[in-house]
Amino acid sequence: MPEDAAAVLRTSAGEHRITPLAGVAPGRLPYSIRILLENVLRGAERGDVPRSQVDALIDWGSPASLRTAIDLTPTRAFLHDTNGVPALVDLAAMRDAMAALGGDPSTVGPSIPSELVIDHSVIADVFGTPDARERNVALEYERNAERYRFLRWGQAALDGFAVVPPGAGIMHQVNLEHLARVVMADDGWAYPDVCLGTDSHTTMINGLGVLGWGIGGIDAEAVMLGETFSMLIPPVVGFRLSGALREGVTATDLVLTITQMLRAHGVVGAFVEFFGDGVGRLSLPDRATISNMSPESGATCIYFPIDEETIRYLRFTGRADAHVERVEAYAKRQGLWHRPDQTADYTEVIELDLATVSASLAGPRRPQDRVALAAAKSAYRQVIGDLMPAGSTAQTRARVSLPQGEQVLSHGTVAIAAITSCTNTSNPSVMMAAGLVAKNAVAAGLSSKPWVKTTLSPGSRVVTDYLDRAGLSPYFDRLGFAVAGYGCMTCIGASGPLITEVEQAVREDGIAVAAVLSGNRNFDGRINPDVRLNYLASPPLVVAYALAGTMDIDLLTEPLGTDRAGAPVYLADLWPSSLQIAELIDDNLSATMFTDAYRDIFTGDQRWRGLSAPAGAVFDWDPDSTYIRRPPFLDGMRADADEPADIRGARVLVQLGDSVTTDHISPAGAIPAASVAGRYLSEQGVPRRLLNTYASRRGNHEVMMRGCFANVRLRNKLVDGVEGGVTRNFLDGGAQQSIFDAAMAYTAAGVPLVVVGGKEYGTGSSRDWAAKAPALLGVRVILAESFERIHRANLIGMGILPLQFAAGQSAEGLGLTGTEVFDVVGVAAAARAVASGDGPAEVTVRAGDLQFTAVVRLDTEREREYYRHGGIMPYVLRHRLAAARPDRQQPGRS
């Protein structure tokens, strides 16, 4: 960048050049848009971004600006192991392909800092015992050592790729407490930290003033390799907070309320930015708790601008004084420091008086389905009938023999109570509250019900440090909430099996049991395949439901049990005051806890250091591996791309309803032995106890193909009344088959496939295998009423065409049954219309005797190029190859 384009920021740590926003950014521009403006302005000064993108951001809010795509340059890529392993697998495959095309494989590697935290693999197999964590970690290494050796190869082979070993905590809490820079300092420059991650909850870092959000693993590979991230300039919804939370109301209650409000309002594709006097009453962990659940609301991110609380937290978590000074000076110099007296010109404004928030749950199937705690019992009774299979003759009670004696289980029995996830274990206020509830319960002589699987899986080691210091850990232990591991665990579906006798009652007697967890997601089949009811709740309420053992209770009016004298004990008797919680936090948390916990964050324990790792620029694939296989995505790739062609003679693989999640499409939980993937692994000699989870097997496409649409709660309208991964094969007279077997039959016959969906298709995790696996099954088109942002991008990244029904139309409204033969006509012309800016582009769809127009959801020219090349991987590879050969034109840069 030329010297005259930069100003100088001077602090006690030295001087840094900056790209000044003064005189460029309009005064009432949202803070999050100012960060985008700085990023694009820097790119324009380098000559990498056209000046028109800068002008569009300056003109933010006009109809024209919100139709403009920008090229964002992320400063960091952030990954976890279950998305990071397949991303690394793809990079290794790209190195192979580069070598095959005559290029240098070592040119395929990160161009920006890329950090991976191993937090998604540990499973809560063992619980309730002092050695639970150690035994779970031992099982983790037994199952995943091959994957971890592969990650160690990547760390050695790829410059700029760092791995945080297992046991350090959950990625987003590690990011919040240690990795996030807020302001980057590199090569004499200072600029905002823009962090894009392979987990949708990367948004948690917005609470610290870092702009970041989740992207698919496929997009992340391009970002790591130095590609800009193409996105439409977003609208920004302002969220005004006023008032203060009432006594007994937690940050979890607040975030469930906000999630419900935003999902009902409709914020998919938008930024949400908080302002108002209520923001100043929220601690930074409270803000992070809210930002974490951006994907549950549908928002791209939920942003809190930098202010005094940001600076206090940075110091409190042990960041260097010079760095903290730079963050504050930069934010104030660049107009990124929050000014409560100034309100930005937001697209829309939503308001919430914090005093109106009440104790809440969310469930039993979606995080936005908030239920006031006062109505939880009646709400449970309303839904239990709807959740049971049609025509079910399940018993309402089952007797089970447990070590504590014979017990009677019924619908609504709580089988899992888990304090888990980055969402809440990052927040000392709710963790201390849970510890005090546990302490008071033990003092009253209460205990968790014997049929409840109780687990505590903190997001960082700091949590157990302050619980120990506060003297609360023994009470968690007494109630069965011994630390089971430092990782996502139950929240990601790694809950492990239920108590054996409870599992048997579910499978044999049809009891519909519940999970209560302090997580962020509760989609069908996600938490545990044997659990039908899943509720999100604050950590203290998780403890309360473990004591109650059932959802069929009003915790506000009915006792949790009786004390030693036989007197009833109510939740109010156990609940601590806000003052008690605040005093515990003040007395027991310190900056040294964070500096001690993160001093050797990249070193790992003896097990990690003892892993042998392969060496070399190109990975040596093991053809017998059941974890790491070379994927076929680039097989037969040519140096040049063709124009996209029409799709003819396609059949419907599955026809689905609304709110189909990426968990439905590509499950993350345990691999059932009887599933298609389980049978495949058994044939490969994998013993049942080592089948592991779909999340851990994402480096093996053979497993993930067989797990596609394999969620036990999937409802495919082609086989009405049947749940699971089943469809009809119309090449075989409409016979019912597994979705995998039917897809293979269609592939063998050269028949392309279509998936038909409803509203909010692809809700949930930024799970690239929800696009990769359908692509490998031969799916060419997804036709839905609307798409979640990340999943739509992932589909394009795998060369799958996302089509959207015209406004007011749907599969049901058009009379589509899924038995039709589909033609999609005009694809090439539609793609050209996207590139020329004449969109929205449309295609003609013929389905049997029906003909209608569908909108092509290639929203930017870059997305059009990805689709034309057959996905991001071939696009990036051709780009890299062209850069190494000046005689060749770079893809998409004509």
The whole-angstrom separation of Cα 675 and Cα 738 is 9
**pLDDT (0 to 100) of residue 3:** 45
Closest CA to 299 of 382, 357, 234, 364: 234
**What pLDDT, on the 0 to 100 scale, is given for residue 520?**
94
pLDDT of residue 889: 45
Q: Provide mean pLDDT across the span 321-337.
A: 97
pLDDT at residue 885 greater than cutoff 80? no
Question: Do 364-598 and 647-665+713-859 agree at the fold level?
Answer: no
The CATH code belonging to domain 647-665+713-859 is 3.20.19.10
| Average pLDDT of span 258-276 | 97
What are 420-464's pLDDT values in tens digits? 989 899 999 999 999 999 999 999 999 999 999 999 999 999 999
- The residues, ordered by sequence, that sit 6+ positions from 796 with a Cβ below 8 Å of its Cβ are 802, 858, 863, 866, 867, 871, 872
Q: Could you tell me the two tokens for 46?
A: 């380098």
Which segment of 15-19, 136-140, 167-171, 637-641 scores lowest on mean pLDDT? 637-641
Residue keyed to tokens 């109570």: 417
What is the pLDDT at residue 138?
A: 95
Give the closest residue to 400 by CA, choosing from 482, 498, 481.
Answer: 498
**Would you state the pLDDT for residue 1?**
40
Q: What share of the chain is helix, strand, coil (3-state, %, to 5)?
A: 40, 20, 40
Question: pLDDT tens across 479-510, in order?
Answer: 999 999 999 999 988 999 999 999 999 999 99
Structure-block tokens of residue 873:
């991987």
The CA distance from 829 to 123, in Å, is: 49
What confidence score (pLDDT) does residue 484 get? 97
Least confident stretch, 108-122, 160-174, 627-641, 770-784: 627-641
Residue 188 and residue 14: Cα distance in Å, rounded? 9
DSSP state of 543: H
* Cβ atoms within 10 Å, residue 63: 6
Predicted pLDDT of residue 251: 97
Distance from the Cα of residue 310 to its chain's centroid:
24
Q: What is the pLDDT of residue 194?
A: 98
Q: What is the pLDDT of residues 514-526, one digit of tens each?
A: 999 999 999 888 8
DSSP state of 577: P
User: Does the pLDDT of residue 392 top 60, yes or no?
Assistant: no
At 615-647, the pLDDT tens digits run 899 999 999 999 999 999 999 888 889 889 999
Rounded Cα–Cα distance for residues 42 and 29 (Å): 18
**Average model confidence (pLDDT) for the chain?**
93
The topology under which CATH files domain 364-598 is: Aconitase; domain 3 (3.30.499)
Q: How far apart are CA 152 and CA 491, in angstroms?
A: 26
Say yes or no to pLDDT of 561 above 60: yes
pLDDT at 850: 97
pLDDT at 269: 92
pLDDT above 90 (res 394): no
As a whole number of Å, the end-to-end CA separation of the chain is 24
Give the pLDDT confidence score for residue 4 in this predicted structure.
47
Tens digit of each residue's pLDDT (9 = 90 or more) over 647-694: 999 999 999 999 999 999 999 888 999 999 999 999 999 999 899 989
Residue percentage of the chain with pLDDT more than 90? 86
Structure tokens at 12: 């006690």
Q: Which residues contact 78 (CB under 8 A, 6 or more apart)?
A: 114, 115, 116, 117, 171, 175, 179, 195, 196, 197, 198, 199, 202, 212
Domain boundaries of the chain, sorted by first residue? 364-598, 647-665+713-859
- Per the confidence metrics, is the pTM higher than 0.85? yes
- Backbone phi and psi for residue 359, each to the nearest 5 degrees, phi listed first: -55, 135
- Under the banding of pLDDT at 50, 70 and 90, the label for residue 892 is very low
Average pLDDT, integer, range 52-80: 96
Instruction: Give every CB contact of residue 299 below 8 A, 6+ residues apart in sequence.
Output: 203, 237, 262, 267, 268, 270, 271, 272
pLDDT band at 832 (very low <50, low <70, confident <90, very high): confident
In 537-591, the DSSP E strands lie at 561-562, 568-569
**Contact by Cβ (8 Å): 122, 137:** yes
Tell me what pLDDT residue 893 has: 37
User: What pLDDT does 71 receive?
Assistant: 96
Average pLDDT value for residue range 817-821: 97
**CB-side exposure of 371: number of CA atoms within 13 Å?**
23
The C-alpha atoms of residue 824 and residue 753 are separated, in whole angstroms, by 11
Per-residue pLDDT band at 837 (split at 50, 70, 90): low
| 225 vs 550, more confident | 550
Distances (CA, A) of 693 to 134, 528, 666: 19, 11, 11
CA–CA gap between residue 528 and residue 503 (Å, rounded): 11
What tens digit of pLDDT does each residue of 1-37 get?
A: 444 446 999 999 899 999 999 999 988 999 999 999 9
